[in-house]
Amino acid sequence: MQELLEQYQQVLSRMDRSRFPLADDKYSGVFLPVAFDEYRAADFRIMHVGRETSGWNTANSKNTLGRIFSANETGTTAAIVEEAVIRYEKHLDIRPDGTVATTSKSRFKQYYFRLAKEMSLPPKSIIYANLFAWDYAGKSPLTSPAEELAAVSTVSLELLALQVKFFKPHAIVFSTGYAGIDGMLKNMFSQHFNGHETVSVDPRKLWEFTVDDITCFRIAHPRASWGHGEYRTKVIERLHQLRSAGGTPIGQLEPAS
């Protein structure tokens, strides 16, 4: 895992105030996923990617983009990464008996747990990731000023790309919705991968595609209704098909350290 943490630090260390024209720093703490042992042991590796997590790591009342800039200036960026990872490792509620509590008010988390249950995987075996590494005023950065959105998107996509390369999933489920998102995904694939190849599209509902031999699905956010439920089910059916076919030979994970 040390290699991943060093990569996170390298990306964050390149952030500076001059590249982020902040009108008002309304951003959350940075979202940095790591893999649990259960993910490494899984026979079929899945990443479940949301859009952003509202209020992520803001309980300390000091997490902002400006805090990262300051850490870079004082050479303490590694501490920001360590703090973010510790917070991520607590994203699942653990009962006193050591099992994971699989109930949540969050529609995204509900689908996360459904993926785990219907794929017969422990909840810790799925990587929970985000398209945006920060939220904006408790909401999507898509609502932020255009210049800020461009800067935050660039770093967020770089972080997500290195996560995909490091975690080597067999499949990725983007539960992000399509509006303002599909273009960002395509940009990430062209900049950080060898492009993408569309398998099928049901407009505004389900987009299946491959990226460097990884099968990907983009669906609506799990809170969406009006016919979207059947596509969430269809994704699970496709995941079963992929698993039965043996997944894709995308390489081995780096050993935990």
Counting the structural domains of the chain, the total is 1
| Domain annotation covers residue 251 | no
d(CA 138, CA 126): 25
> Nearest-CA neighbor of 51 among 146, 219, 175?
175
Q: Is residue 83 part of a domain?
A: yes
Averaged pLDDT score across all residues of the chain: 91
pTM of the entire structure?
Answer: 0.93
CA distance 37 to 255: 10
- Report how far Cα 230 is from the mean position of its chain's Cα atoms: 23
CATH of the domain at 154: 3.40.470.10
Checking if the pLDDT of 154 tops 90, the result is: yes
With tokens 């993408």, the residue in question is: 196
The DSSP symbol for 58 reads -
165 neighbors 39 (Cβ within 8 angstroms): no
Q: Does pLDDT of 23 surpass 90? A: no
Q: Answer yes or no: is 224 within a domain.
A: yes
- Is 97 inside any structural domain? yes
Q: Which of 63, 67, 59, 61 is nearest to 20 (CA)?
A: 67
Within a domain: 237 = yes
Q: Write down the pLDDT at residue 125.
A: 97
What's the pLDDT score for residue 58? 82
| Length of the chain measured in residues | 257
Whether 214 is in a domain gets the answer yes
The separation between CA 161 and the C-alpha centre of its own chain, rounded to angstroms, equals 10
pLDDT-derived band at 55, boundaries 50, 70, 90: confident
Which residue range(s) make up the domain with 231?
A: 2-244
Residue 251 pLDDT greater than 60, yes or no = no
Mean pLDDT of 125-136: 96
Contact 176, 221 (CB under 8 A): yes
**Is residue 204 situated within a structural domain?**
yes
Compute the distance between CA of residue 82 and CA of residue 29 in angstroms, rounded to an integer: 12
